[in-house]
Structure 1
Amino acid sequence: MDGQYFEFGLADALGSVRAEIAALKEREAHLRAAILASRSCETGREFEVFIRTGTSRRINRAALPDAVLTDRRFWTETSTTTVITRPRNAPPSAREDRRHVSHLAQPERKEEDFTVIEDI
Protein backbone atom coordinates (compact mmCIF):
# COMPACT_ATOMS: atom_id res chain seq x y z
CA MET A 1 0.00 0.00 0.00
CA ASP A 2 1.37 3.39 -0.91
CA GLY A 3 0.39 5.16 2.33
CA GLN A 4 -2.13 7.57 0.82
CA TYR A 5 -4.92 6.05 2.92
CA PHE A 6 -3.30 6.55 6.28
CA GLU A 7 -3.80 10.30 6.67
CA PHE A 8 -7.32 9.79 8.02
CA GLY A 9 -7.43 6.00 8.13
CA LEU A 10 -8.74 3.13 6.08
CA ALA A 11 -12.34 3.58 7.28
CA ASP A 12 -12.49 7.16 6.00
CA ALA A 13 -10.76 6.18 2.76
CA LEU A 14 -13.24 3.36 2.13
CA GLY A 15 -16.21 5.55 3.06
CA SER A 16 -14.98 8.26 0.70
CA VAL A 17 -14.53 5.81 -2.18
CA ARG A 18 -18.02 4.44 -1.62
CA ALA A 19 -19.45 7.97 -1.68
CA GLU A 20 -17.70 8.57 -5.02
CA ILE A 21 -19.07 5.28 -6.35
CA ALA A 22 -22.59 6.26 -5.24
CA ALA A 23 -22.28 9.58 -7.11
CA LEU A 24 -21.04 7.76 -10.22
CA LYS A 25 -23.92 5.27 -9.99
CA GLU A 26 -26.39 8.16 -9.81
CA ARG A 27 -24.78 9.77 -12.87
CA GLU A 28 -24.85 6.42 -14.66
CA ALA A 29 -28.58 6.02 -13.85
CA HIS A 30 -29.35 9.43 -15.41
CA LEU A 31 -27.31 8.63 -18.52
CA ARG A 32 -28.93 5.19 -18.79
CA ALA A 33 -32.40 6.74 -18.50
CA ALA A 34 -31.56 9.23 -21.27
CA ILE A 35 -30.34 6.43 -23.54
CA LEU A 36 -33.43 4.32 -22.85
CA ALA A 37 -35.65 7.33 -23.53
CA SER A 38 -33.94 7.93 -26.89
CA ARG A 39 -34.57 4.27 -27.83
CA SER A 40 -31.66 4.34 -30.25
CA CYS A 41 -28.05 3.25 -30.40
CA GLU A 42 -25.52 5.86 -29.41
CA THR A 43 -22.01 6.09 -30.82
CA GLY A 44 -19.29 8.29 -29.40
CA ARG A 45 -15.59 8.67 -30.09
CA GLU A 46 -14.60 5.77 -27.85
CA PHE A 47 -17.78 3.89 -26.96
CA GLU A 48 -20.97 2.70 -28.52
CA VAL A 49 -24.13 1.93 -26.62
CA PHE A 50 -26.97 -0.30 -27.68
CA ILE A 51 -30.02 -1.68 -25.92
CA ARG A 52 -30.51 -5.40 -25.40
CA THR A 53 -33.48 -6.99 -23.70
CA GLY A 54 -33.04 -10.30 -21.91
CA THR A 55 -35.02 -12.68 -19.77
CA SER A 56 -34.04 -14.37 -16.53
CA ARG A 57 -35.60 -17.18 -14.54
CA ARG A 58 -35.83 -17.38 -10.77
CA ILE A 59 -37.40 -19.90 -8.47
CA ASN A 60 -40.58 -18.66 -6.84
CA ARG A 61 -40.01 -19.65 -3.20
CA ALA A 62 -43.65 -19.00 -2.34
CA ALA A 63 -44.68 -21.72 -4.80
CA LEU A 64 -42.36 -24.37 -3.35
CA PRO A 65 -43.92 -26.98 -1.10
CA ASP A 66 -43.00 -26.90 2.59
CA ALA A 67 -41.30 -30.27 2.17
CA VAL A 68 -38.71 -28.65 -0.11
CA LEU A 69 -38.34 -25.49 1.96
CA THR A 70 -37.65 -27.40 5.18
CA ASP A 71 -35.55 -30.25 3.77
CA ARG A 72 -31.83 -29.40 4.06
CA ARG A 73 -31.01 -31.71 1.12
CA PHE A 74 -32.36 -29.06 -1.26
CA TRP A 75 -30.31 -26.14 0.08
CA THR A 76 -26.68 -25.13 0.13
CA GLU A 77 -25.30 -22.68 2.67
CA THR A 78 -22.28 -20.48 2.10
CA SER A 79 -20.56 -18.06 4.43
CA THR A 80 -20.03 -14.43 3.45
CA THR A 81 -17.88 -11.68 4.90
CA THR A 82 -19.35 -8.20 4.73
CA VAL A 83 -17.49 -4.91 5.13
CA ILE A 84 -19.99 -2.24 6.16
CA THR A 85 -19.36 1.50 6.04
CA ARG A 86 -21.55 4.17 7.59
CA PRO A 87 -20.97 7.67 8.91
CA ARG A 88 -19.75 7.49 12.52
CA ASN A 89 -22.60 9.66 13.77
CA ALA A 90 -25.26 7.45 12.13
CA PRO A 91 -27.07 4.95 14.36
CA PRO A 92 -26.85 1.27 13.40
CA SER A 93 -29.45 0.37 10.81
CA ALA A 94 -32.24 -2.08 11.56
CA ARG A 95 -30.47 -4.48 9.21
CA GLU A 96 -27.35 -4.40 11.41
CA ASP A 97 -29.43 -4.80 14.57
CA ARG A 98 -30.89 -8.05 13.25
CA ARG A 99 -27.54 -9.80 12.88
CA HIS A 100 -24.34 -10.04 14.84
CA VAL A 101 -21.57 -7.95 13.29
CA SER A 102 -18.13 -9.19 14.18
CA HIS A 103 -15.26 -6.80 13.66
CA LEU A 104 -12.53 -9.36 14.27
CA ALA A 105 -13.81 -12.83 13.47
CA GLN A 106 -12.37 -14.41 10.34
CA PRO A 107 -14.53 -17.40 9.40
CA GLU A 108 -12.99 -20.41 7.75
CA ARG A 109 -13.14 -19.80 4.00
CA LYS A 110 -14.56 -22.35 1.58
CA GLU A 111 -14.12 -22.34 -2.16
CA GLU A 112 -17.75 -21.34 -2.81
CA ASP A 113 -17.68 -18.45 -0.30
CA PHE A 114 -17.64 -14.87 -1.54
CA THR A 115 -17.19 -11.42 -0.05
CA VAL A 116 -19.90 -8.75 -0.05
CA ILE A 117 -19.01 -5.11 0.46
CA GLU A 118 -21.97 -2.84 1.10
CA ASP A 119 -22.66 0.73 2.01
CA ILE A 120 -25.44 1.52 4.48
Structure 2
Amino acid sequence: MNYEEFAKITKALSEPKRAKILDMLSCGEMCACDILKHFDFTQPTLSHHIKILVKAGLVTAEKRGTWQHYSINEQVTQQYIQETIHLLTHSSECICESEGIQKEVINLTSFVSH
Protein backbone atom coordinates (compact mmCIF):
# COMPACT_ATOMS: atom_id res chain seq x y z
CA MET A 1 0.00 0.00 0.00
CA ASN A 2 1.45 3.36 -0.99
CA TYR A 3 0.88 6.72 0.69
CA GLU A 4 -1.90 7.68 -1.75
CA GLU A 5 -3.85 4.47 -1.07
CA PHE A 6 -3.29 4.86 2.66
CA ALA A 7 -4.53 8.47 2.57
CA LYS A 8 -7.61 7.50 0.52
CA ILE A 9 -8.63 4.97 3.16
CA THR A 10 -7.86 7.39 5.99
CA LYS A 11 -9.98 10.06 4.31
CA ALA A 12 -12.87 7.58 3.94
CA LEU A 13 -12.59 6.81 7.65
CA SER A 14 -12.51 10.47 8.65
CA GLU A 15 -16.30 10.89 8.42
CA PRO A 16 -18.12 9.74 11.59
CA LYS A 17 -21.08 8.25 9.72
CA ARG A 18 -18.77 6.11 7.58
CA ALA A 19 -16.90 5.01 10.71
CA LYS A 20 -20.24 3.97 12.21
CA ILE A 21 -21.14 2.04 9.04
CA LEU A 22 -17.86 0.15 9.29
CA ASP A 23 -18.48 -0.55 12.96
CA MET A 24 -21.88 -1.98 12.06
CA LEU A 25 -20.37 -4.10 9.27
CA SER A 26 -17.76 -5.47 11.67
CA CYS A 27 -20.62 -7.56 13.08
CA GLY A 28 -21.19 -9.13 9.65
CA GLU A 29 -22.80 -8.51 6.28
CA MET A 30 -25.72 -6.11 6.22
CA CYS A 31 -28.36 -5.07 3.76
CA ALA A 32 -28.56 -1.37 2.90
CA CYS A 33 -32.10 -1.29 4.29
CA ASP A 34 -30.84 -2.49 7.69
CA ILE A 35 -27.98 0.01 7.75
CA LEU A 36 -30.35 2.83 6.86
CA LYS A 37 -32.49 2.14 9.96
CA HIS A 38 -29.64 3.39 12.15
CA PHE A 39 -29.29 6.80 10.49
CA ASP A 40 -31.38 9.88 10.04
CA PHE A 41 -30.65 10.35 6.34
CA THR A 42 -31.96 9.15 3.00
CA GLN A 43 -31.00 6.15 0.90
CA PRO A 44 -29.09 8.36 -1.61
CA THR A 45 -26.98 9.72 1.26
CA LEU A 46 -26.25 6.17 2.41
CA SER A 47 -25.29 5.29 -1.16
CA HIS A 48 -22.87 8.23 -1.20
CA HIS A 49 -21.15 7.09 2.01
CA ILE A 50 -21.02 3.47 0.86
CA LYS A 51 -19.60 4.51 -2.52
CA ILE A 52 -16.68 6.22 -0.77
CA LEU A 53 -16.06 3.15 1.41
CA VAL A 54 -16.19 0.85 -1.63
CA LYS A 55 -13.85 3.12 -3.66
CA ALA A 56 -11.40 3.08 -0.74
CA GLY A 57 -11.57 -0.72 -0.80
CA LEU A 58 -12.88 -1.04 2.76
CA VAL A 59 -16.31 -2.41 1.81
CA THR A 60 -17.54 -4.89 -0.79
CA ALA A 61 -21.02 -4.77 -2.29
CA GLU A 62 -23.21 -7.52 -3.68
CA LYS A 63 -26.63 -6.96 -5.21
CA ARG A 64 -29.33 -9.43 -4.18
CA GLY A 65 -32.80 -8.72 -5.42
CA THR A 66 -33.55 -5.04 -5.04
CA TRP A 67 -31.09 -4.39 -2.21
CA GLN A 68 -27.34 -4.19 -1.94
CA HIS A 69 -25.59 -6.20 0.74
CA TYR A 70 -22.35 -4.88 2.19
CA SER A 71 -19.48 -6.40 4.08
CA ILE A 72 -16.03 -5.37 5.21
CA ASN A 73 -13.16 -6.23 2.89
CA GLU A 74 -11.04 -8.10 5.43
CA GLN A 75 -7.92 -8.17 3.26
CA VAL A 76 -7.83 -4.40 2.80
CA THR A 77 -8.70 -3.63 6.41
CA GLN A 78 -5.99 -5.94 7.73
CA GLN A 79 -3.46 -4.39 5.37
CA TYR A 80 -4.53 -0.91 6.48
CA ILE A 81 -4.11 -1.88 10.13
CA GLN A 82 -0.62 -3.25 9.45
CA GLU A 83 0.35 -0.18 7.40
CA THR A 84 -0.88 2.10 10.19
CA ILE A 85 1.26 0.27 12.72
CA HIS A 86 4.23 0.42 10.35
CA LEU A 87 3.70 4.12 9.64
CA LEU A 88 3.45 5.11 13.30
CA THR A 89 6.25 3.01 14.77
CA HIS A 90 9.96 2.98 14.11
CA SER A 91 11.45 -0.19 12.65
CA SER A 92 14.34 -1.26 10.45
CA GLU A 93 11.98 -0.88 7.45
CA CYS A 94 11.13 2.71 8.42
CA ILE A 95 11.53 5.45 5.78
CA CYS A 96 14.09 7.18 7.99
CA GLU A 97 16.27 4.09 7.66
CA SER A 98 15.69 3.34 3.97
CA GLU A 99 16.08 6.95 2.78
CA GLY A 100 18.74 7.99 5.26
CA ILE A 101 16.62 10.66 6.89
CA GLN A 102 18.48 12.00 9.87
CA LYS A 103 16.68 13.02 13.00
CA GLU A 104 17.72 16.41 14.25
CA VAL A 105 18.62 16.64 17.86
CA ILE A 106 17.58 20.03 19.13
CA ASN A 107 19.48 21.51 21.97
CA LEU A 108 16.75 23.19 23.97
CA THR A 109 19.27 25.30 25.87
CA SER A 110 19.92 27.28 22.67
CA PHE A 111 16.30 28.48 22.77
CA VAL A 112 16.45 29.68 26.33
CA SER A 113 17.28 33.34 26.61
CA HIS A 114 19.35 34.41 29.56
The TM tier, using the shorter chain, reads under 0.3
TM-score after normalising by structure 2: 0.22
Higher helix proportion: 2
